[in-house]
Amino acid sequence: MPIRFANVHKSFGAKEVLRGVSLTIEDGECFFIVGASGVGKSVLIKHLVGLLRPDAGDVFLDEEEVSRLSEHALRPIRKRCAMVFQSSTLFDSMTCAENVALPLRKHRGLGAADALVEARRRLAGVRMEGFADALPAALGDGLRKRVAIARALTLEPEVVLFDEPTTSLDPVSARRTDQLIARLCRDDGVTAVVVSHDLSSIFGIADRIAMLYKGGVRFLGTPEEFRACDDPVVRQFVRGEAEGPMEV
Amino acid sequence: MSTAEPGWALPAILGRRTLALLSQLGGLALLARDLGRAARPEAGGLDRVELVRHLHRMGVRSVPVIAATAAFTGGIMVLQAAPFVEQFGAKDFVGFFATFVTFRELGPLLIGLIFNGRVGANNTAELATMVVTEQVDGLRALAIDPVSYLVLPRVVAMTLTMVALVLVGDAVALLGALGVAQVLLDVSLAQFLDSALSRLETWDLLVGLVKALLFGLGISLTSCFHGLRVRGGAPGVGRAVNASVVASAAGIFVADYLSTFLLP
Amino acid sequence: MATAFPSPGSLAALRFQLRELVKLTRRTLEMAVAPRRGGRAARRAFAEQMHLVGNRSMPFMIVTMAFIGAIISFQTALQSQEILPDLSQVGATFTKLLVRDLAASVGALPLATRVGAGIAAELGSMVVTEQVDALRMNNADPVETLVLPRFVACVVMGTVVLVVGGFVAFGAGVLVGQVAFGIEARTFASTALLNGGDVALGLAKCATYGGAIALVSSERGLSAFGGSEGVGRATTEAVVGSCFTIIVLNVLLSTGGHFLLPAL
């Protein structure tokens, strides 16, 4: 399911966040969208599932124009295209198992009890079976993220959007999350779109990288090209330097 | 000093208030329309699991507060009637007076206000927190309609709960009134019950329940509306709760007034 | 710890909250009786709170009280038709009921919703954003700088708002008597049954309820914890707690009034 952003513009009030972003993401790719904090990476991927609408430009998913669909018509898209939020967005009134069971109950037509059994099996897939009955508030960021990933994967989506999956995780949890994403692409043929500024993830698992800067795409290419790029802004980002031409 | 500013001139304030009120009413109407759509089975229908959870949380756990309120209300009604009972020697009317006013007016009104403070405010806070922490977006990303999954079970649960609580409250208020009448006015149990049962009609009870239904519907819609419309992060949650509670309270009085006149 | 005000199943929590409330009440009253000399900042805090409780609540309370007056008048007239041969006494009865109890007791509930929710939300967000801790680090006593101005404002302006509201309710009642029952306004607006005790009891209720709203809501706000959700919870508990406290105080004051300031 190829994804195409065509000249997407988006402003919040007077603040222009996206000023004409054009990108194509191929099937089965592990695609990273990188850039400084607040540059609009999350904003961009939220357009893909219709959580945000562009002010101008179009977003295509499999040649279907997502940006024009109604909330109702977006439902089938959202079943094929899952999202793992930066804040995990687990429902805090439910246990982890109930969180994962919800989409099963709603979309697979499972009864409440069957959905819970299946949810435990899914949690085992991310090594979280021991926390099935815990409330999300009782877990740390890394564990919550794993539950969120299990929940996003319940409907066997073709595309998974990850919004900063490794931010605020310890290095070990972060690499495990990277592994999980890489396995999804390699073994299950899932297209992963990852928003990140974690250099270890970027150079660890990305197939291609797009760097956003000042509302547009500043760089597009493979990790090797990214490392070797002689654009001073890109070089400053790759090296993580405090001084340089980059403006926030 | 501030009257010099154009924004604080009386017409400007009135205009702003009117616009705010209209936008709120419009938003409520839109939410009610969406609810109608969400109730259809192809849109997801009513989520039973959520409904049961809310019925327990909103209904069962509100019973102690509501019962205490109702007992005091019944007592207060007799206390207020006391001087007139003594003046006109109308002991035979105490039972009727206390139950009539409690069933038709004060029961639904007071229980509505307490329900608004407890359940309505809580509901707004919960939904607003879900919006602020992107849980509602999370729901949409799972292709689940927030109106059918979050709002519909809440509205149904709150409306049913409100009616049930008023029924419970009526019974408890009757006991409270009975106790005070006996102790303070020396009205016997038989005299009280006879007075209430012979003059009270089923319709008086029904009027109270219809009011409860209206209040429950109003509180639930208002609190969901304000919760989902929250702006401005965590501080916005407090503001949303405040706005919701005040709007519901005003709505309760207006609805009470209208139904008092329309339901003779 | 984190339970709704008169919490089911957790009497210990309720007892703890009551003890905290009594402690806060004692400290606030001590300060109110023997205030330290405050500077300009303190005077401004008092003025600000007075404005908030008085002026800002006035429109909401006027609208609400108009509806309350209309409802009470309607019901009183309806009741009297059952007991009395003619309607000449309705106005006097209505006035007495309004002054002695209902203006204060029913009006205090929307006031509690509006003012109590505001106080708890404001103090609660100050606590969770550690502003109260910052105050204490600067050797400013939160009770003196935050609670006392709110308490005084609620006692003074709460009484003012409720008295104004009482007059509005009276006006609305006279109107309903005229329009719905054809009772001449001059006959209806009668103070024949009113005595000094009624006025004293009514004013005492206004002031007591005002103070109770401030204390209950401040206590809940200051004990908020856990981010925006905690603020929402504190707001809920403040509204329910204030309403419930008002109803309990009403029973106490009405019973006391029945013996000390007899109606006849």
Q: Chain A residues with CB inside 8 Å of B133's CB?
A: 87, 89, 92
Task: Round to whole Å and give the CA distance between C79 and C83.
Answer: 7
A78 inside 8 A of chain B by CB: yes
How confident is the model at residue C5, as a pLDDT?
A: 41
pLDDT the model gives residue C125: 85
Between residues 175 and 194 of chain C, which touch chain B (CB distance below 8 Å)?
180
Q: Which of B64, B76, B246 comes nearest C8 by C-beta?
A: B64
Residue with tokens 């109003």: B218
B126 interaction partners in chain A (CB closer than 8 Å): 93
Report the Cα C56 to chain-centroid distance in Å: 15
Report the distance separating Cα A188 and Cα A179, nearest Å: 13
pLDDT band at C7 (very low <50, low <70, confident <90, very high): very low
Sorted by sequence, the CB contacts under 8 Å of residue B262 that are 6+ apart come out as none
Q: pLDDT value at position B2?
A: 42
Low-confidence residues in chain A, pLDDT < 50: none
Convert the pLDDT of each residue in C180-222 to its tens digit: 888 888 888 888 888 888 999 999 999 999 999 999 999 999 9
Residue C40: per-residue pLDDT: 66
Contact at CB, A89 and B137, closer than 8 angstroms: yes
Task: Determine whether the interchain pair C235/B100 forms a contact, defined as Cβ–Cβ distance below 8 Å.
Answer: no
pLDDT of residue C190: 81
Which ranges in chain A belong to alpha helices (H)? 41-46, 74-80, 96-107, 112-125, 141-153, 171-188, 199-205, 223-228, 232-239
The position carrying tokens 């005077």 is C43
CATH 3.40.50.300 correct for A3-90+158-239 = yes
pLDDT of res. C6: 43
In the sheet that holds A208-213, the strands lie side by side as A81-84, A159-163, A191-195, A30-34, A208-213, A216-221
Structure confidence at residue C37 (pLDDT): 61
**Interfacial A residues in 197-216 facing B (CB < 8 Å):** none
Give chains near B: 3+ CB pairs under 8 A.
A, C
| Distant-in-sequence contacts of B225-229, Cβ < 8 A, 24+ apart | B225/B24, B225/B27, B225/B28, B225/B31, B226/B124, B226/B128, B227/B123, B227/B124, B227/B125, B227/B126, B227/B127, B227/B128, B227/B130, B227/B131, B228/B31, B228/B127, B228/B128, B228/B131, B228/B136, B228/B146, B228/B150, B228/B151, B229/B27
Contact A82 B142 (CB under 8 A): yes
CA dihedral C15, B178, C262, B81 (to 10 degrees): 120
pLDDT at B7: 61
Contact state of A91 with B134 under an 8 Å Cβ cutoff: no
pLDDT digits (tens, 9 = 90+) for C224-234: 887 777 887 88
Residues A198, A212: Cα–Cα separation, whole Å: 14
Residue B1's pLDDT is: 41
Question: What are the sequence ranges of the domains in chain C?
Answer: 11-32+45-257
In chain B, what's the furthest Cα-to-Cα distance? 69
The domains of chain B are located at: 43-262
Q: How far is B135 from chain A (nearest CA, A)?
A: 5
- List CB contacts (< 8 A) between A75 and chain B: 143, 145
For A196, the token pair is 């990140």
Q: What is the least distance, in Å, from the CA of B39 to any CA of chain C?
A: 29
Q: What's the pLDDT band for C4 if we cut at 50, 70, 90?
A: very low
User: Could you tell me the CA-to-CA distances from A132 to A140, B138, C60 in Å, in that order?
Assistant: 14, 19, 48
Beta strand pairing status for A3-12 and A15-25?
A: antiparallel
Contact across the interface for B133 and A89, Cβ inside 8 Å? yes
* pLDDT surpassing 90 at residue B199: no
Angle between helices A171-188 and A141-153 (to 10 degrees): 10
pLDDT, position A58? 93
CB B155 within 8 A of CB B220: yes
pLDDT digits over C138-156, tens only? 878 889 889 999 999 999 9
3-state secondary structure of C60: helix
Q: How confident is the model at residue C262 (pLDDT cuts 50, 70, 90)?
A: confident
Question: In the predicted model, is pLDDT for residue B156 greater than 90?
Answer: yes
Euclidean distance between the first and the last CA atom of chain A, given in angstroms as a whole number: 34
Alpha-carbon gap, residue B161 to B209, rounded angstroms: 11
Quick one: three-class SS letters along C81-129? HHHCCCCCCHHHHHHHHHHHHHHHHHHHHHHHHHHHHHHHHHHHHHHHC
- Cβ-Cβ pairs closer than 8 A, A with B, add up to 64
Nearest to A91 among B43, B135, B140 (CB): B135
Is the pLDDT at C9 greater than 60, yes or no? no
Q: Could you tell me which chain B residue has the CA closest to the CA of C263?
A: B83
**Closest listed residue to residue B250, CA positions, set C114, C174, C54:** C114
Of A158 and B84, the one with more pLDDT = A158
- The rounded distance, in Å, linking the Cα atoms of C28 and C219 is 11
> Could you read off the pLDDT of C72-131 as tens digits, one per residue?
888 888 777 766 667 777 888 888 888 988 889 989 999 999 899 889 988 988 888 888
Report residue A243 as tokens: 């001084």
| Mean of pLDDT values over B14-33 | 88
Residue B186 vs residues B178, B180, B183, C257: alpha-carbon distances, Å: 10, 9, 6, 18
Has residue C8 got a pLDDT over 50? no
Q: Does A75 touch chain B (CB under 8 A)?
A: yes
Chain B residues near residue C80 by CB distance under 8 angstroms: none
The pLDDT of B204-227, averaged and rounded, is: 94
Q: Which helix (H) or strand (E) holds A160?
A: strand A159-163
Å between A144 CA and nearest CA of chain B: 13
CA dihedral over B210, B216, B218, B219, signed as positive or negative: positive
Q: Which residues of C touch B261 (CB under 8 A)?
A: 74, 180
Domain ranges of chain A: 3-90+158-239
